[in-house]
């Protein structure tokens, strides 16, 4: 039996006295695209950040490739080489060009020499359709372009798992498409992705699994057709109907 | 006023002593550069400690800063020169006094600049597997240094002007040279001498500001949302 | 966020209380003692001495107890040899304290002069800075250029050089000496006034920069609205823009006060016996450089910290909702 790429078991996380994750369990196999949905404040970002340890957990177990992620002896920087992250508000390095944003990690962390890193970096920029903007600074790019550079920056570390935290919610509506398209390409290439997003298009067409998180608990978990068409829990149904209403007005 | 300004003999005296004044100018520039460098070498880490240091280190640095910023430079120079006699060289003493006081101000400039860099920058760097130190070094510091240019520019001219206070321990900087010319030479030329000296200071501060403007334009990066 | 509040308990524990007693209080207590001493000194020397023939400058604190303690400590140190070094240091400090009781009255007079220099220069500087800054923002081309040249020339040259120009190179001193009243009774002598004029001209340039920045940051719509209700341009500036600009500029006066408290020490170069001048006179007679200059550094710190605390009060008092410095 093959072990899952990512397995999360009985994960608890509190901020002060407020429990944000109340025993979350989740498994992902190589190539899976899991889309995490849920109301604001339900703990989606927190869950993602526990996986690459930007946030420390209180109890439970997270394993990547069977290796414990959360142990004190685990090297977080080794872990983060395996797990890339794309942020809602991009967080591109403001003082570096698009290409330099992509090559900084490979050069400083993976120890690649400059020429190799640049060649690889150009490939990644091409993959997200931004080779032409290689020498532009973040302030000179549109939101959609920034986010595609953000994706290329994560890809450049050649991670086993990519985390996306609402990658399109800071974008103007007309710029969402170009980012979703890049993400769909990545999904088609078999990259394992854990995505927080309410882009229904993406969820329907690219996700292998949908997970509905509410109040720190996984309420429902299933393939997109089933979860969207025949949700079993009332909370899921309510959330989805609000989401649809929102989509139609938008 | 016009009559005094037009006293040709006194201007001739200033022109005759141009060499001396130029020597004083060189000392002033050397003292400024040495002090600014010392101020940077001490002030930058101090600013970083105020942002990233442990509570105790931060408190120590802050308190030393308050003392240095709250004491007149004249007093600092006197303590170092006549009190502690840290060096028999007046130039070295003045450099240390100006440099340490500048460090206390530069630390505030860098502290502000480091704090102004968005937390997301550090987080994104950590997410591509950089250590905290690497992230600060490669991502936060380069941005903070650019943002500290205006404050640094201001500090540079303050140090340049305050080198004149080293007159109290008799370094042959510009103002001392002027004072000597006036006391030991031609006392009727006082106005001409001190105006000439002031003019040199003005040219120096003006040139410094312009060069630092150029420098910051050269290293500028388009700013905006990231 | 509720989580942050719930972690700190509403009732401070014993350690928190001890913490406040031992960390915040020493500074406050020290400052209070400083001002009690200064005010008592001024009252006895400037007021009571005139009224009741009190001796001016009689020390409040006797020197003898410090001397006897110093001797006792020193005698303890002698048998210890090198190990007694800390005790020797304590004895020396006590001996200096005994000497300092004699110096302190003179230093209190120096503090008076330093405060006068600072307050006069800030206030007079402000009266020049306000028109300068209004000209910088709203003036015609030539007026603007003149105001700019003035501020740039002053800010581009050292204060000490400016002081020397006025003192050594003009006849200002003679002119002031001829003014009736100067140097008589409580009115300081001419060198003090040269320093005040020099610091005023200097401070006006810096203050006008602060004010200019504040005036420029007042929303342009404010003046338009003032004109719309029928005020003239000057009235609009006077009644609408300037009041808002002044509030915005308040924090810069803390800087300016602190700056002048420290840089007024330069007046000693033209014979003014302010705090630094007094100290340096005593130091040149007694050679107690380290002790005296450390003492005077503490006195300057007390002045600077008091000025900042005072300005904090003023700022929170003057804060109008939505205008200027809102306190966190
Ligand atoms: N650093 C933090 N400190 C305290 N509370 C936090 C922190 N980060 C998140 N929270 C709280 O945890 C809860 C879940 O947040 P988050 O994971 O960001 O939700 P989501 O991404 O689903 O909107 C929220 O109530 C939020 O206020
Ligand atoms: Mg979130």
**Six-digit token pair at C10?**
């509403």
Output Rg (C-alpha) for chain A, integer angstroms: 18
Q: What is the mean pLDDT of chain B?
A: 90
In chain C, the domains with their CATH numbers are 109-318 (1.10.3720.10)
Rounded CA gap, B165 and B73, in Å?
A: 8
| Residue range of the domain that includes A200 | 6-91+162-249
Atom of ligand 1 at shortest distance to CA of A55?
1
Q: Which of the ligands is closest to the CA of residue A37?
A: 1
∠ CA C158-C160-C163 to the nearest 5 degrees? 115
Output Rg (C-alpha) for chain B, integer angstroms: 22
In angstroms, what CA-CA distances link A107 with A111, B124, B130, B200? Answer: 5, 16, 11, 48
Q: Which residue of B has its CA nearest to C169?
A: B191
Q: For residue B128, how many other CB atoms are within 10 A of its CB? A: 28
Q: Which residue of C has its CA nearest to B74?
A: C265
Helical (H) or strand (E) element with C222: helix C220-228
Calculated CA dihedral for residues A230, A232, A233, A235, nearest 10 degrees: -10
Distance between Cα C285 and ligand 1 center (Å): 68
pLDDT tens, position by position, C141-157:
999 999 999 999 999 99
Confidence of residue B226 (pLDDT cuts 50, 70, 90): low
Neighbours of chain A (3+ CB pairs under 8 A): B, C
In angstroms, what CA-CA distances link A240 with A45, A145, C213? Answer: 19, 30, 52
Distance between Cα A36 and ligand 2 center (Å): 11
Pairing of strands A33-37, A192-196: parallel
**Six-digit token pair at A156?**
């450049």
In angstroms, what CA-CA distances link C76 with B5, C79, C88, C90? Answer: 68, 7, 9, 11
Residues of chain B with a CB closer than 8 angstroms to some CB in chain C:
66-67, 70-76, 78-79, 82-84, 157, 161-165, 167-168, 175, 178-179, 182, 190-191, 193-195, 197-198, 201-202, 205-206
Neighbours of chain C (3+ CB pairs under 8 A): A, B
Question: Complex ipTM, two decimals?
Answer: 0.91
Residue having the nearest C-alpha atom to atom 9 of ligand 1: A46
Helix/strand/coil for A38: coil
pLDDT tens, per residue, chain A with 250 residues: 578 999 999 999 999 999 999 999 999 999 999 999 999 999 999 999 999 999 999 999 999 999 999 988 899 999 999 999 999 999 999 999 999 999 999 999 999 999 999 999 999 999 999 999 999 999 999 999 999 999 999 999 999 999 999 999 999 999 999 999 999 999 999 999 999 999 998 999 999 999 999 999 999 999 999 999 999 999 999 999 998 887 766 5
Residue having the nearest C-alpha atom to atom 7 of ligand 1: A15
CB A93 within 8 A of CB A136: no
Q: What is the pLDDT of residue A165?
A: 97
Q: Which strands, in side-by-side order, build the sheet including A209-214?
A: A83-86, A161-165, A192-196, A33-37, A209-214, A217-222
Q: Which residue of C has its CA nearest to A14?
A: C3
Distance between Cα A184 and ligand 2 center (Å): 21
Q: Does C299 touch chain B if contact means CB atoms closer than 8 Å?
A: no
Domain count, chain A: 1
A185: domain CATH number? 3.40.50.300
Distance of CA C288 to the CA centre of its chain: 25
Residue having the nearest C-alpha atom to atom 12 of ligand 1: A20
CB A80 within 8 A of CB A102: no
List chain A residues with CB under 8 Å of B130. Answer: 77, 105, 108-109
User: To 10 degrees, what angle do helices B174-184 and C159-168 make?
Assistant: 10
**A154/B118 touch (CB, cutoff 8 Å), yes or no:** no
CB A40 within 8 A of CB A27: no
pLDDT tens, position by position, B120-147:
999 999 999 999 999 999 999 999 999 9
Looking at the predicted structure, is the pLDDT value of residue C48 above 90? no
Specify whether the backbone of C319 is left (phi greater than 0), alpha (psi in -120 to 50) or beta. beta
- Residue of B206, B162, A48 lying closest to C153 (CA atoms): B206
**A18/C2 touch (CB, cutoff 8 Å), yes or no:** yes
DSSP E strands: which ranges in A29-165? 33-37, 59-64, 67-68, 83-86, 161-165
In a domain, A65, yes or no: yes
Q: Does B71 touch chain A if contact means CB atoms closer than 8 Å?
A: no
| Ligand 1 lining (C-beta closer than 6 Å) | A 15, 20, 38, 40-46; C 1, 3
In chain B, the domains with their CATH numbers are 2-218 (1.10.3720.10)
List chain A residues with CB under 8 Å of B219. Answer: none
Looking at the predicted structure, is the pLDDT value of residue C14 above 80? no
Which residues does residue C30 pair with via DSSP β-bridges, in sequence order?
Answer: none
Q: What is the pLDDT of residue C326?
A: 35
Looking at the predicted structure, is the pLDDT value of residue C8 above 50? no
Output Rg (C-alpha) for chain C, integer angstroms: 25
Q: Which residue of A has its CA nearest to B141?
A: A95
pLDDT tens, position by position, A223-239:
999 999 999 999 999 99
Distance between Cα A47 and ligand 1 center (Å): 10
pTM of the model: 0.86
As to burial, measured by CB atoms within 10 angstroms (0-12 exposed, 13-18 middle, 19+ buried), residue A243 is middle
Rounded CA gap, A24 and A10, in Å?
A: 5
């Amino acid at each position: 039996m093959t072990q899952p790429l990512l397995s999360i078991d009985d994960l608890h996380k509190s901020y002060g006295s407020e429990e944000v994750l109340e025993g979350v369990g989740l498994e992902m196999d190589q190539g899976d695209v899991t889309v995490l949905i849920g109301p604001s404040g339900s703990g989606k970002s927190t869950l993602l950040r526990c996986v690459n340890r930007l946030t420390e957990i209180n109890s439970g177990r997270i394993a990547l490739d069977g290796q414990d992620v959360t142990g004190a002896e685990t090297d977080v920087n080794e872990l983060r080489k395996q797990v890339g992250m794309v942020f809602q508000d991009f967080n591109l390095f403001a003082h570096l060009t698009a290409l330099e944003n992509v090559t900084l990690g490979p050069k400083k962390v993976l120890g690649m020499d400059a020429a190799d890193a640049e060649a690889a970096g150009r490939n990644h920029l091409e993959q997200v359709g931004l080779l032409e903007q290689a020498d532009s600074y973040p302030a000179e790019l549109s939101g959609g372009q920034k986010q595609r550079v953000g994706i290329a920056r994560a890809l450049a570390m050649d991670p086993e798992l990519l985390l996306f935290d609402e990658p399109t919610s800071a974008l103007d509506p007309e710029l969402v498409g170009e980012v979703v398209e890049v993400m769909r390409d990545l999904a088609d290439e078999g990259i394992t992705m854990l995505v927080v997003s309410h882009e229904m298009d993406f969820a329907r067409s690219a996700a292998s699994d949908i997970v509905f998180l509410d109040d720190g608990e996984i309420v429902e978990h299933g393939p997109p057709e089933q979860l969207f068409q025949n949700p079993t829990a009332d909370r899921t149904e309510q959330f989805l109907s609000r989401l649809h209403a929102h989509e139609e007005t938008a | 006023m016009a009559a005094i300004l037009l006293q040709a003999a006194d201007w001739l005296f200033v022109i005759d002593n141009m060499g001396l004044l130029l020597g004083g100018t060189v000392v002033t520039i050397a003292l400024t550069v040495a002090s600014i460098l010392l101020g940077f070498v001490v002030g930058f880490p101090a600013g970083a400690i105020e942002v990233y240091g442990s509570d105790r280190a931060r408190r120590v640095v802050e308190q030393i800063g308050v003392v240095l910023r709250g004491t007149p430079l004249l007093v600092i120079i006197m303590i170092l020169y006549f009190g502690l006699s840290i060096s028999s060289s007046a130039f070295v003493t003045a450099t240390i006094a100006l440099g340490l006081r500048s460090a206390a101000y530069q630390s505030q400039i860098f502290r502000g600049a480091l704090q102004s860099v968005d937390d997301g920058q550090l987080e994104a760097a950590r997410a591509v597997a950089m250590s905290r130190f690497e992230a600060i070094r490669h991502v936060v510091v380069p941005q903070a240094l650019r943002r500290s240019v205006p404050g640094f520019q201001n500090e540079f001219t303050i140090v340049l002007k305050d080198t004149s206070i080293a007159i109290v321990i008799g370094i042959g900087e510009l103002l001392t040279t002027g004072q000597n010319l006036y006391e030991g030479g031609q006392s009727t030329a006082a106005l001409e001498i001190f105006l000439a000296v002031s003019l040199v200071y003005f040219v120096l501060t003006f040139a410094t500001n312009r060069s630092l403007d150029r420098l910051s334009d050269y290293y500028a990066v388009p700013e905006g949302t990231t | 966020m509720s989580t942050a509040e719930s972690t700190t308990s509403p009732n401070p524990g014993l350690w928190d209380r001890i913490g406040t007693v031992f960390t915040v209080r020493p500074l406050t207590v020290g400052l209070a003692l400083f001002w009690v001493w200064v005010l008592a000194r001024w009252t006895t020397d400037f007021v009571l001495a005139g009224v009741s023939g009190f001796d001016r400058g009689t020390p409040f604190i006797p020197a003898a107890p410090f001397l006897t303690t110093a001797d006792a400590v020193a005698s303890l140190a002698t048998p210890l040899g090198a190990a007694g070094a800390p005790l020797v240091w304590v004895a020396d400090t006590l001996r200096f304290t005994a000497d300092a009781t004699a110096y302190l009255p003179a230093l209190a007079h120096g503090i008076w002069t330093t405060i006068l220099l600072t307050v006069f220069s800030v206030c007079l500087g402000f009266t020049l800075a306000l028109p300068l800054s209004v000209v910088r923002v709203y003036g015609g081309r030539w007026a603007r250029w003149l105001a700019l040249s003035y501020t740039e020339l002053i800010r581009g040259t050292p204060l000490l050089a400016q002081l020397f120009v006025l003192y050594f190179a003009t006849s200002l001193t003679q002119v002031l000496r001829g003014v009736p009243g100067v140097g008589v009774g409580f009115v300081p002598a001419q060198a003090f006034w040269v320093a005040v004029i020099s610091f005023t001209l200097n401070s006006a340039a810096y203050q006008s920069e602060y004010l200019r920045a504040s005036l420029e940051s007042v929303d342009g719509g404010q003046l338009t609205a003032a004109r719309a209700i029928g005020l003239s341009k000057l009235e609009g500036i006077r009644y609408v823009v300037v009041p808002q600009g002044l509030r915005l500029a308040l924090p810069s006066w803390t800087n300016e006060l602190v700056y002048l408290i420290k840089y007024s020490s330069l007046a000693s170069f033209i014979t003014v016996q302010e705090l630094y001048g007094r100290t340096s006179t005593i130091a040149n007679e007694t050679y107690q450089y380290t002790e005296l200059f450390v003492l005077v550094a503490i006195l300057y710190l007390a002045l600077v910290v008091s000025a900042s605390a005072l300005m904090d009060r003023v700022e929170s008092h003057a804060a109008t909702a939505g205008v200027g410095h809102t306190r966190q």
